[in-house]
Amino acid sequence: MDMTNRVPEWLTPIAWTFITLALLSAAAIAYDVYARRHRHGTVAAEIVWVTSALYLGPFALPLYARHGRTAQISDTPRTAATAQPVAVAGLPGGGASAVAHLIGVPVVIASGLTIAGIDLWVMIIVIGLLAMALLFVYERTASGRGTSRASSAGAAAMAAVLTVLAFDIGMGGWMLLLHFNEYMPPVDQGSFWFLMQVGIVLGLLTGYPAVTWLTRRHETVAPA
């Protein structure tokens, strides 16, 4: 990725600290789910909670304790539309984006593909398509405790596309802002991945209206 790095040096230790805490938080949630056997209704929901820590870092732990761990040990029937806040329903989109970044960024860099001489455009497209595919699979498989039903193929596709497009207003817009202001560091630096974590959080914010609408239509499900 041919970009000028104007990111201040003080961001590097902050980036690596947060990345370390994010990995530890993801490991802590995975340990609670799989080692301590606090299993959820579906594997998809478990993956969503683990991947939430990849971008929320330690902030995912209280969220999981409040809306994840307590949900799966409760015997009270719940529905996707009423059991958890809409913000939690956006976590699958965030997880899909996080995984799409981990896969898409190296693929684009290795391929050398560009549009108008800029690989960022390819990166945004590839990440978006991967996120849509992952979210589609989630919507199709996330049935069980804490969800109202699995989505039909059409509803799952609509939910995936609308969610990712709304999400990319924040995520893609953030990447473009960094790039054209020469604040996008190389992908081999921790500050790049930290800034992508920030972008995913921004994507959650811009995707919130779409997730709210889809949840009310029962065409998206919150992790349980």
pLDDT tens per residue across span 52-80:
999 999 999 999 998 888 665 544 444 44
Residue 80, in any domain of the structure? yes
Per-residue pLDDT tens over the stretch 68-127: 886 655 444 444 444 567 778 899 999 999 999 999 999 999 999 988 888 899 999 999
Looking at the 3D structure of the chain, how many domains does it have? 1
pLDDT at residue 29 above 80?
yes
Residue 58, in any domain of the structure? yes
Residue 224, in any domain of the structure? no
Tokens of 5: 């790095």
What pLDDT does 54 receive?
96
With H, G, I as helix, E, B as strand and everything else as coil, classify residue 5.
strand
Task: Annotate 109-171 with DSSP letters as a single string.
Answer: HHHT--BTTBHHHHHHHHHHHHHHHHHHHHHHH--STT-S-PPPHHHHHHHHHHHHHHHHHHH
Question: Which residue range(s) make up the domain with 194?
Answer: 11-216
What is the distance, to the nearest Å, from the Cα of residue 26 to the centroid of all Cα atoms in its chain?
13
- Under DSSP, the state recorded for 182 is T
Residue 5, in any domain of the structure? no
Residue 3, in any domain of the structure? no
Tokens of 219: 């065409």
Rounded distance between C-alpha atoms, residue 126 and residue 131, angstroms = 8
Rounded distance between C-alpha atoms, residue 210 and residue 192, angstroms = 27
Best-predicted range by mean pLDDT among 1-15, 74-88, 125-139?
125-139
CB 186 within 8 A of CB 192: yes
Residue 106, in any domain of the structure? yes
Residue 194, in any domain of the structure? yes
pLDDT at residue 145 above 60?
no
Residue 84, in any domain of the structure? yes
What pLDDT does 84 receive?
67
In the structure, what pLDDT confidence band is assigned to residue 4 with cuts at 50, 70 and 90?
low
What pLDDT does 201 receive?
96
